[in-house]
Amino acid sequence: MAKKSQPAAKKNVATKSKKPVVSTVVEAASPSAKRSTSKLAARAAQMRARIRQRRSERRLASPHRSFRLTRRTEVPRYEAVRPWWQLMQEAWGIIRHSGTMIGLLVAIFMSASWLIIGVSGLQAFATLKQVVDIVFTEPTNGFDQAATLLQAATPSVSDQSLVTQGLLTLVSILFWLSFIWIARHAMAKQSTTLREAIYLSGTALVPSVLILLLMIIQMMPALLGGVLFVSASNSWTFELAPQAAFLVIIGTLLLIFSFYFVVSSFVALQVVALPGMYPWRALRDARALLSGRRLSTLRKVVILPVVLLIVWAVIMIPASAIDNKICGTGGESCWSTVTLLPSLTYALAGLSIAFSSIYAYILYRSLLATRESK
């Protein structure tokens, strides 16, 4: 009996010795649990404070909300931005001031375009030359001329593979950011180098790509509106006039819807080039800058491609005429068709990127300078 009672006594001792150990573990874990819950509560309070701050900032920028009934309030009015021709004069002044660096960047862009596109894009330039000759020798209306030239000017990129198009897009964005870097230092009257413009400006590549993807999504309604315009023009008869007019109205509304959002994303492309800027914050800042001035800014944005198209037409049409005198109307293997037209096209593309980026950055700085209310 004594032998059997010894294991039971050992079990009782073991159970008695385990109880205080469990209690000490529980007592030791309770302060850490309290600290973790306090940290979670502090983080939740910080998140609520940030949400309230963002809501207050949005209400200060624009007190009206989309698809909501809001009270009649006074929207903050800002000073008018300078006219577009003054902005273009300032952009041309920056190009003249930093002509050496911009010229070297354009030369690098031409070399990169030659390496990416290669010989496969030379057939497109011969096709463009033939189309220009046909358009300006045969009697057609202005709309058909513009549509034919636009269709002929795009094959040098559209006929390439997706990899080539992606590389061209990335190269264009990198040079866009480099030109903005030069413009920012020129307006701040600070000196910079070509190496800094190429390497340091590339930190905003990923945010710029994200905003560019957002702009592509925002242009989808405009693409649908263009399809509706084409359908209305093809079916415009006396019997189908009401249906065609309805398609035109819907297409116009879709275009307005796209342009309303694209203009803020276009300004955000300049904001995101600043050091330490994130894409969504850039979009918020651009939306706040455009409060009450979206339509006037849209006019200044739309005038830019119009001016560039005029410049391209003034330069490329005489170049095509000179090439015809050198090589004749065919001349797909002539040296000027192989070298002159592609080199001129790449140079114009680089200068267009330079002028567009500097003009857009000056527009953003003008919006920022006139943000104070009257």
pLDDT score of 21: 45
Give phi and psi for 74, each to the nearest 5. -85, 115
d(C-alpha 322, C-alpha 226), whole Å: 36
d(C-alpha 232, C-alpha 227), whole Å: 9
Say which DSSP state 80 is in: P
Write down the number of H helices and E strands in the chain: 15, 0
Q: Residue 75: which of 89, 87, 63 has the closest Cα?
A: 63
Which tokens go with 131?
């189309």
Q: Residue 110: which of 363, 295, 341 has the closest Cα?
A: 341
pLDDT score of 336: 55
pLDDT score of 167: 86
136: helix, strand or coil: coil
d(C-alpha 35, C-alpha 78), whole Å: 49
For the chain, give every domain's residue range: 1-61, 84-369
pLDDT score of 122: 55
Which tokens go with 36?
């973790």
Sign of torsion over alpha carbons 305, 307, 310, 315 = negative
pLDDT score of 47: 86
Exposed, middle or buried: residue 306 (CB in 10 Å: 0-12, 13-18, 19+)? exposed
Contact 259, 223 (CB under 8 A): no
What contacts 374, CB < 8 A, 6 or more positions away?
Answer: 77, 78, 79
Burial 22-43 (b: 16+ CB within 10 A, else e): eeeeeeeeeeeeeeeeeeeeee
Contact 124, 155 (CB under 8 A): yes
pLDDT along the chain (374 residues), means of 10: 48 46 47 73 85 71 61 62 90 92 93 75 57 53 46 47 81 94 93 91 92 93 86 66 80 89 92 90 88 86 93 84 67 57 85 95 90 55
